[in-house]
Amino acid sequence: MYTVLIVDDEEPVLESYGYILDNGVPGFVLAGTARNGNEAVARIYDLKPDVVFMDINMPGLDGLEAIARVHNDFPHTIFILSTAYERFDIARRAIPLGVFAYLVKPVTRQVFLDTLAQVAVELGSRKKRDFNSENTLIEQKFLKETVWKKISKSDWEKYRRMLALDSDEGMICFIGIDGEQPAFFERINTALDLKYRFLFTEHLNLGMYFFPAVPNRGVVVDFVLRTIESCVPSSVVSLTGFGELRSYTELGCSCDEALAALYEKKNYTDIRLRERLRIVQLRRKMGVAESEEVRQLFADYWGEVFAAYDFATAKAKMILLFTLLVDDVTDYFQVHTEVIPPFFPAEEIAPLEDLSSWKDWALPAFNRIYTIAKRKRSGEFSIPLMRALSFVDENFEKEIQLSNVAENASVSPAYLSRLFSEQLGVSFVEYLTGLRIERAEQLIRENKMNIKEISFAVGYQDPNYFSKAFRKTVGMSPSMYAERSRYEKSCR
């Protein structure tokens, strides 16, 4: 049995993890708990656990400092960080300490179990390795610790000899894959090994690569990207970051460059997910929600777009949005119709020269489309559906079901379900979830309630289920969304 130590200053977290372990996780047993960094250090020396789940933000000694104090004495202990938000600087500090994984709160039962399953594989594989030949341990130490520091000439010569490196230069690459990482990395590495020599380790839920003696950086980067494309399905999110080709004295710079590039792409991915969410909300609410609510949603959307992109790119995105909105109210780009669009977005937006001219054009144009949508939808929605929408809008924060709404609208649940699909293009559950998550976003931005309280306030009795629904809809966890919101406010 592998022993587990849980370190967290929140009692519910200790109770939750402890309950899961006490109720049977094959191969693992709870060794103990600690509520701060100093207590964690003492318990690690006392219990010598195989696995430690370590919170980062705790009073006094934080989680990373605690790990740093025991790392040299317990090099084989598996440390798993948990925190309320993802940050590049935390990941940067964690990597040289050999941290196995990095979990973002709230950690669901399934994520906890999946992480322990990965730990079991790692611990099992360690038992099977031939530790008499220390090459694997040397390679791991080199990637997880040595390359992040300035390497002396004597140390470099030692590693060159032990790892059979044939160059004084190299490049670091990080690959992040959502899903069953070990299987994907096995495929990627098999393909890469046919063409290049490299060192590899899985670290902080990322694949870390060192390519020595790179003849042409651009060629290697292109081959790695094409390999990922061939080995990872398009439905699985994958991100990459490449450092520059550096001499052994500057490999730490290549590490920083690669990790920063990956985080930058992750942030860009988050922006695109938020854009998609805003467009979906706008199209769903046009002509249905109150005009002021929809105008505010539009203002929030274009404000984020113009802040994130250069003016030309932002205009292109606005052309796309308005084309979709025009098509929603006219069907002009879907079928043959006699209806003439109120305007052609590309022809009117493309000539705009600056943000001031955009502001002068945008709201009047948006109001024209909203008016048409309002007139169209008031005529196409049936009375039962209008009653249902009104009831849901007023009661979505309660525990309502399709049967409750159908009863209020004086129709059967099956008939109402069909009305949602035929007239709104979404299911009842999708519509209800959209309202709840939208309200949750607003409450998170107000920063007056914690995530658990917000979960209850928008109709979810299970915070873990709320977090799952929020992540599926928004593309990030509620904790991450809250951190981003606080960061954006601090930058204003």
Q: What is the mean pLDDT of residues 260-279?
A: 76
pLDDT band, residue 345 (cuts 50/70/90): very high
Rounded to whole angstroms, the Cα distance separating 60 from 199 reads 38
pLDDT tens per residue, range 422-436:
877 778 998 899 889
pLDDT in tens, 48-59: 999 999 998 888
> In this structure, which amino acid lies at residue 255?
C
The dihedral region occupied by 133, where left means phi > 0, alpha psi between -120 and 50, and beta the remainder, is: beta
Using alpha carbons, select from 179, 173, 183 the residue that is nearest to residue 208: 173
Split at pLDDT 50, 70, 90, the class of 244 is: very high
pLDDT exceeds 90 at position 218: yes
pLDDT of residue 188: 93
Looking at domain 2-128, what is its CATH homologous superfamily? Answer: Response regulator (3.40.50.2300)
- The reported pLDDT for the residue numbered 130 is 44
**3-state SS track over 32-56:** EEECCHHHHHHHHHHHCCCEEEEEC
Query: What are the strands of the beta sheet with 101-104, ordered from one edge?
Result: 28-34, 2-7, 51-55, 78-83, 101-104
Report whether pLDDT(287) > 90: no
C-alpha span between 178 and 109 (Å, rounded): 18
Task: List, for residues 450-462, the tens digit of each pLDDT value.
Answer: 898 999 999 998 8
Q: Give the lowest-confidence range in 276-280, 311-315, 333-337, 369-373.
A: 333-337
Q: What is the CATH number of domain 135-268?
A: 3.30.70.2730
Closest CA to 277 of 421, 427, 434: 434
CB 272, CB 201: distance < 8 Å: no
Phi, psi angle pair for 192, to nearest 5°? -65, -35
Which of the listed ranges 250-254, 261-265, 378-382 does the model predict with the highest average pLDDT?
250-254
User: Which has the minimum average pLDDT: 133-137, 382-386, 439-443?
Assistant: 133-137
Local confidence band at 381 (pLDDT 50, 70, 90 cut-offs): low
Structure confidence at residue 335 as a pLDDT band (50, 70, 90):
low
pLDDT above 60: residue 490: no
Tokens of 276: 């998609």
Q: Where are the domains of the chain?
A: 2-128, 135-268, 286-368
* pLDDT value at residue 259: 87
Kindly state the percentage of the chain with pLDDT values over 90. Answer: 30
Burial class of 454 by CB neighbour count within 10 A (0 to 12, 13 to 18, 19+): buried
Residue 268 pLDDT class (50, 70, 90 cuts): low
Please tell me the predicted confidence (pLDDT) of residue 340: 77
The average pLDDT across 305-317 equals: 87
CB 279 within 8 A of CB 309: no
pTM for this predicted structure: 0.45
Rounded percentage of the chain residues whose pLDDT exceeds 70: 88
Average pLDDT over residues 11-38: 89
**pLDDT for res 320:** 94
Mean local confidence (pLDDT), 174-188: 78
Tens digit of each residue's pLDDT (9 = 90 or more) over 88-137? 566 667 666 778 888 888 888 888 998 998 888 888 776 655 443 456 77
What does pLDDT average to over the chain?
84
> Is the pLDDT reported for residue 484 higher than 80?
no
Q: What does residue 374 show for φ and ψ, rounded to 5 degrees?
A: -60, -45
What pLDDT, on a 0 to 100 scale, did the predictor assign at position 90?
65
CA atoms within 13 A on the CB side of 64: 14
d(CA 405, CA 289): 18
pLDDT attached to residue 132: 39
Torsional sign, CA 312, 314, 317, 319: negative
Peptide bond before residue 106 is cis, with ω within 30 degrees of 0: yes
